[in-house]
A and B are shown apart, each in its own frame.
Chain A
Amino acid sequence: DGGITQSPKYLFRKEGQNVTLSCEQNLNHDAMYWYRQDPGQGLRLIYYSQIVNDFQKGDIAEGYSVSREKKESFPLTVTSAQKNPTAFYLCATTRGPYASGANVLTFGAGSRLTVL
């Protein structure tokens, strides 16, 4: 998994519950990202963080929250406000910000969330 650990791999949630997905990296990469993947769809950016204690909303941030208290960790909380949370969630890192021409995205193995 390229030094990125996502947990849990599978998660089931009842409607109305908040859940937190973990993403930990040992690559010493500065930037971390959360993507959502739905069947037959491209990846969509939820949140990203380029430095500790700072993060930015992506295209579909509503109903999600994040924190970046440590360089190694970027947890994603799926709140009850997210109306359709069943999806495959992918965490990724880059050594520097996207604007760098040589940046390569490294992905974790993903977490599959199912709302019952």
Chain B
Amino acid sequence: KQEVTQIPAALSVPEGENLVLNCSFTDSAIYNLQWFRQDPGKGLTSLLLIQSSQREQTSGRLNASLDKSSGRSTLYIAASQPGDSATYLCAVTYSGGGADGLTFGKGTHLIIQP
């Protein structure tokens, strides 16, 4: 069964820094990978979706990359701001399953210090 790991579990950096969040998965047979943001006590907001045939996606200060062969994805946040503080989760749609083929990581809790 697909396993998704996110490192680090928590990260605290000063405002303005560029940072990288990591997501790794055990089975490279995926349809796509999504990055989500979750604010405390809220639902998840989709940030970026990378299809299995793509290498990266960009949205504003966010850039997500995908390396299927190594089972890794990174979320790069440029010029971090206090408003970026949240938990970031990645989820992999596993081609071996149906709706239950979507597997989430446990998330990285990010704090941007003003």
Contacts and interface: CB of A to CB of B under 8 A. Distances in A.
A50 B34 CA distance: 20
A58 B99 contact: yes
Nearest to A10: B41
Contact of A104 (B4, B46, B104): B46
B113 interface: no
A88 to B, nearest CB: 8
A42 B102 CA distance: 11
Given A56-B99, A97-B99, A104 B49 contact: yes
What is the size category of the interface that chain A forms with chain B?
20 to 34
Interface string B40-82: 0111111001011000000000000000000000000000000
B99 A45 contact: yes
A69 to B, nearest CB: 19
Contacts of B91: 43, 105
The residue in B41, B46, B102 that gathers the most chain A C-beta atoms within 10 A of its C-beta is B102
A103 B105 contact: no
Interface of A: 1-2, 4, 6, 31, 33, 40-43, 45, 48, 50, 56, 58-59, 88, 90, 92, 97-110, 112
Interface of B: 4, 31-32, 34, 36, 41-46, 49, 51-52, 89, 91, 93, 95, 97-107
27 contacts: A1-B43, A6-B43, A42-B4, A42-B106, A43-B44, A43-B104, A45-B100, A48-B100, A50-B98, A56-B98, A58-B100, A59-B100, A92-B44, A98-B93, A98-B98, A98-B102, A99-B31, A100-B31, A102-B51, A103-B32, A105-B34, A105-B91, A105-B102, A107-B36, A107-B43, A107-B44, A112-B41
